[in-house]
Amino acid sequence: MKQRVFSGIQPTGKITIGNYLGAVKNWVYLQEKYDSIFCVVNSHAITTKQDPYLLREQTYDMVAILLACGIDPKHSSLFIQSEIDTHPALSWILNCNIPMGEMERMTQFKDKAQKNPKNINVGLFDYPALMASDILLYQTDLVPVGEDQKQHLELTRNVAQRFNRDFGECFKIPEPLIAKSGARIMGLDDPTSKMSKSSTAQNHAIFLLDTPKEIEQKIKKATTDSHSSIVFDPDRKGVYNLLCIYELFTQKSREEIETEFIDQGYGVLKKRIAEAIISTLSPIQEEYLKIRHQIDYLAEVLNQGREKVQPIAESTYKKAKELVGLI
Ligand code: ATP
Ligand code: LTN
């Protein structure tokens, strides 16, 4: 029996190279070895303000871009979170088993609340319970995510362990899978903050659908420093971030990269980074444009994904319900 992988991505705006390098690229790699389930988490997206029309469009945009990046329906099940009602249903049961103190420690809530003081809603606070439900419903072994999701994974493991202890065996305890490199791509404008698709700053992120010109310009403007050597030094945050991006897009080793740029300046480095990003993204963009409007194809992939995973979710939910006495 193959181990199971589950992960999710919010359809909140345009996918960035941070999402790609920290998550999606790894999903594509893992899908051949594992029983893989990937979910567009639109119910999580409404924890921040969304235009209903745009949210629907962006949900399909995300499905198409995931397929274009290489998520293969032959290997993976791909579905939309709101299509399976047991996600919010299980999160209610989990809610009643998560102490307030544990939830109050979540740094993503604190960050998002600070960035969005006008819309601090209960769903935003409760976001990790729905995420735990996503993962636990599928008896997941491994959850490939970026570094920022580590704390949510810890909460998921805690609630599952507590539930199994208090009510009886129900959930598999999932392990986070966080890549050594690429787990935290930083903003190009500010290498001290995580590159995020919902940031509105002009030169913050490279999106997967950016044109070559946009990519060149954004890399050109990216923050560096006044040193002259080009080496992987985590203390030189801007240059380090750029070198990590180059490393991941070219698959070259760090030694190879440092040798490549001996006696070179940031101009050459930036030119090569832009070229590497453009050559990886071009085929993805081509495929995206080809399939985005093939609505019947997208619907077929999603139906097939939902039909495959729904019985797993229902069986786990039924067990959890019975164990807590809800019938
Ligand atoms: P938002 O800005 O709307 O919160 P986001 O860019 O953080 O979105 P998510 O949909 O929350 O993206 O995350 C999808 C996946 O991408 C998660 O596994 C997350 O850990 C990963 N991820 C997000 N940003 C980065 C980043 N800068 N570096 C590496 N991985 C990232
Ligand atoms: N919270 C995640 C998205 C997400 C997720 C999941 C990831 C929702 N449910 C289940 C892994 C497994 C995020 O903000 N990146």
The tens place of each residue's pLDDT in the chain, 327 residues long, gives 899 999 999 999 899 999 999 999 999 999 999 999 999 999 999 999 999 999 999 999 999 999 999 999 999 999 999 999 999 999 999 999 999 999 999 999 999 999 889 999 999 999 999 999 999 999 999 999 999 999 999 999 999 999 999 999 999 999 999 988 878 999 999 999 999 988 888 899 999 999 999 999 999 999 999 998 999 999 999 999 999 999 999 999 999 999 999 999 999 999 999 999 999 999 999 999 999 999 999 999 999 999 999 999 999 999 999 999 998
What angle, 0 to 180 degrees and rounded to 10, lies between the N-to-C axes of helices 107-115 and 150-167?
130
146 Cα to the center of ligand 2, angstroms: 9
CA distance 199 to 318: 39
Domain 4-177+294-323 has CATH 3.40.50.620: yes
Candidate list 14, 25, 197, 218, residue with the active-site label: 197
Ligand 2: does its nearest atom lie under 6 Å from the Cβ of 23? no
Ligand 2: does its nearest atom lie under 6 Å from the Cβ of 26? no
To the query of whether residue 197 is one of the catalytic residues in this protein, the response is yes
Reduced to 3 states, what is the DSSP secondary structure of residue 146? coil
Give the predicted TM-score (pTM) of the model: 0.95
Q: What is the dihedral of CA 162, 165, 167, 172, to 10 degrees?
A: 70
Structural domain spans, the chain: 4-177+294-323, 212-289
Of 1.10.240.10, 3.90.480.20, 2.120.10.30, 3.10.450.50, the CATH number of 212-289 is 1.10.240.10
Q: Taking a C-beta distance cutoff of 8 angstroms, is the pair 39, 134 a contact? A: yes
Helix (H) or strand (E) holding 164: helix 150-167
Residues 255, 207, 109, CA angle at the centre, nearest 5°?
95
251 Cα to the center of ligand 2, angstroms: 26
Ligand 2: does its nearest atom lie under 6 Å from the Cβ of 135? yes
Q: Taking a C-beta distance cutoff of 8 angstroms, is the pair 98, 129 a contact? A: yes
Per-residue burial over 64-82, b = 16 or more CB atoms within 10 Å of its CB, e = otherwise: bbbbbbbbebeebbbbbbb
R_g over Cα of the chain:
21
Counting from 1 in the atom list of ligand 2, the atom nearest the Cα of 127 is: 1
Ligand 2: does its nearest atom lie under 6 Å from the Cβ of 143? yes
